[in-house]
Structure 1
Amino acid sequence: MRSVLLRYLYHDGAPQAAFPMRVVEDDGDRVVAWLAPDTEIMYWALPGGADPRSLPLDARFSAPLTTARRRWQGGGVLRAVPLDEPFQVVHFWNEKGDFAGWYINLEAPKHRAGDRIDSVDWHLDLWISPDREPTWKDIDEAEAALAAGHITRDELATAWRQGNDIIHNLADWPAPIGDWRSFTPPPRWEPLPLPSDWAS
């Protein structure tokens, strides 16, 4: 089974995060991929390796930011990534295997080169429960990122617009990304290694 590396970049092009995943479906417009539990990933970090969310919100984006190695915690997740759209959808299941909800990551339309998919995270997120109740997430963090120049006003406006468009069309959800609530990965799908050239 083919793999893909989903990466997030800071606005200056420096790497922010990287997730090696197994491709479930790829139709050229949308990639659906599985991130296994305990996968080695790269994730945004302070220079000493600490999580930026350990800082107060008003200091979170004023310190230099880099990336550091982590392990994906909790259960595996399925990511549906529409390449030309300003969002992706992360599917979560609970410990019993019951579908827990959709996490909408609002982000830049993707740039794809081979098995690499790059985007920029806009920090504003949306949670949709299994019964299609929406909840905005990380509003304060998105505003802090805007104030510090990590996202632009136009990007944040696009994030709000896209999130509201999803909310206003929840009667048809999850038609735009496919219904993956019953997905189960094959048992042989162990965590993929992080490529040595993940940053290039």
Structure 2
Amino acid sequence: MRSFETGQTVVRRDVHRTGRAWSEHALRVVADTSEALVAACPPGAETRWPALYAKARDDGDRSVRTEAFDAMATGRWELADAVWQETELLLWKPPAAWFSVNAFYVPDGDGRRLRNWYVNFEHPTRRTSYGFDTFDLTVDLVIDPDLTSWQWKDEDEYAHVRRLGIVTDTEHQAVDAARDQALAMLTERSGPFADADAWSAWRWNTAWPAPRLPQPETATRRVAPTGG
């Protein structure tokens, strides 16, 4: 397995089964071990998102995201350049897991605080020369900072992508198993939850510039949707 160096810029891509990129996100490596790749970004990190996602944020209309999934089902969508906004992100991605654990941090006085944990259900990692590929499977688990409560998110969108065939029966079975694994990890306080205090205290290394993506020939800059 290719290893990345601490501080190195890597690109996380969501790649549709057709081979087309659905999104791209520039991150910096915090640690890369056999257990998991840990990567992060601050506000200002470069991303590329489906143009309809950016429109949903600009218009304050979440229903436009449904149009984005409809476009995915037809294989016709466009990406727009964007920048990550508002939160610092710390991501923990085991190579074979059908999920990643993410922590989002927001301003708090002169510092930052952990806003919430966020389990994103997605394909296992496929390493590339410049980062890793996966594919977001829509449904998420949002966990309070102190790990005492949680709730499922985007179940409606998950049902919609299931109807469209974007998430296959095989992938659905993998998501169901991953849900149980993530909840067991939370209950057992394993994975990143085993060291929740250290995660809560984490802050972006200010010596690192915000990571940048390789730039296409032409693109339209927009504001990226923030996690959670």
TM-score interval w.r.t. the shorter chain?
Answer: 0.7 to 0.9
Contact 1:15–1:66 (Cα < 8 Å) also in 2: no
Structure 2 gaps, min length 5? 1-6, 217-228
Bigger fraction of residues in helix: 2
1:18-49: CA deviation from partner (whole Å, max 9, x where unpaired): 111111100144111111211121112339x6
Q: 1:87 to 1:56 in 2, by over 3 A?
A: closer
Tell me which residue corresponds to 1:171.
187
Tell me which residue corresponds to 1:156.
172
Q: Secondary structure at the match of 1:191?
A: coil
1:14 alignment partner, one of 20, 32, 39:
20
Contact 1:75–1:93 (Cα < 8 Å) also in 2: yes
Alignment pair present for 1:129 and 2:138? no
Contact 1:3–1:21 (Cα < 8 Å) also in 2: yes
Distance in 1 between residues matched to 2:206 and 2:94, nearest whole Å: 26
Tell me which residue corresponds to 1:62.
70
Q: Secondary structure at the match of 1:55?
A: helix
TM-score (norm 1): 0.87
Tell me which residue corresponds to 1:107.
122
1:79 alignment partner, one of 83, 87, 91:
91
Distance in 2 between residues matched to 1:19 and 1:91, nearest whole Å: 16
Contact 1:107–1:120 (Cα < 8 Å) also in 2: yes
Tell me which residue corresponds to 1:95.
107
Alignment size in residue pairs: 194
TM-score (norm 2): 0.77
Alignment pair present for 1:193 and 2:212? yes
Q: Which has the higher contact order (CA 8 A, sep 6+)?
A: 2
Q: What letter matches 2:92 in structure 1?
A: A
1:27-66 alignment to 2 at 5 Å?
Answer: 27-46=33-52, 50-51=55-56, 53-55=62-64, 57=66, 59-63=67-71, 64-66=76-78
Q: 1:60 to 1:18 in 2, by over 3 A?
A: closer
